[in-house]
Amino acid sequence: MTTRRDRGQTLDHTANPIRQRLIVCRACDDGGVPEPGTSAVVVVLPDAAPLLDAAWRVDPALVRRGVPAHVSLLYPFVAESALSGQDEEGVRSLAASFPAVDLLLEEVVTASGFIGVAVPRLQPLVDAFLARWPGSRPYGGRFGVRPAAHVTVAMGADDPTAAGRVRAAIDSLLPLRTRAAAVHLVVLTEEGWRPRVTAPLGIQDSR
């Protein structure tokens, strides 16, 4: 896996590491189609939507439409059938322990058929969720045991010409500034991804 600016970076960080918007997406970052009951913990970054739009203009089949641009903190998370109040409280407490943060997206990252953008300032949050749920296997192991924080832009980009066009299109939009403000626990239903918990970053739950 390479980047357009740093050939040494990979999506395995150990090798170097809104409701309506969350409704319809049957595919996920690992390229597979999960079963209903799958859950994930994500940070939504609406300001990064132009990156996905740029890839869609190259080839709509490369973009998983229906969910906004986001960073997966832990996918897959605990299956819905096993989700507990303790898990939900864990998501809230971890989110509260990290401040909202301004982000600068500037590096394109690639792997086999995958194109994304690195989000290094969210790496501590990704690491914290993995440490809290150590039995998880992020992305089914595709990006190693400690995947680097990233926004997925395109999947299935196996054609070199199309992949090059996507990389060029999103590189022209970088650097891009956005802000991480909340963590979302979402669950896949027959109708698509649905929010279950929304936890603002840096704000203690006052319930």
- Provide the H-helix boundaries in 97-186: 123-132, 160-171
Instruction: Convert the pLDDT of each residue in 60-86 to its tens digit.
Output: 999 987 678 999 999 999 999 999 999
Instruction: Convert the pLDDT of each residue in 10-26 to its tens digit.
Output: 444 444 333 333 333 33
Other CB atoms within 10 A of residue 65 CB = 11
User: What six digits make up the tokens of 197?
Assistant: 């918990």
For residue 89, the surrounding DSSP H or E stretch is: helix 85-96
Q: Radius of gyration (Cα) for the chain, nearest Å?
A: 16
User: What six digits make up the tokens of 11?
Assistant: 């999506």
Share of the chain above pLDDT 90, in %: 70
- The sign of the dihedral angle between the CA atoms of 142, 143, 145, 150 is negative
Running DSSP on this structure, what letter comes out for residue 82?
G
Residue 143 in this model has a pLDDT that exceeds 80: no
CA distance 78 to 43: 17
Give the contacts of 37 (CB within 8 A, at least 6 positions apart). 79, 80, 81, 187, 188
Running DSSP on this structure, what letter comes out for residue 29?
T
Instruction: Convert the pLDDT of each residue in 40-60 to its tens digit.
Output: 999 999 999 999 999 999 999
CA-based nearest residue to 141, from 52, 67, 44, 32: 32
For residue 85, the surrounding DSSP H or E stretch is: helix 85-96
Whether the CB-CB separation of 108 and 4 falls below 8 Å is answered with yes
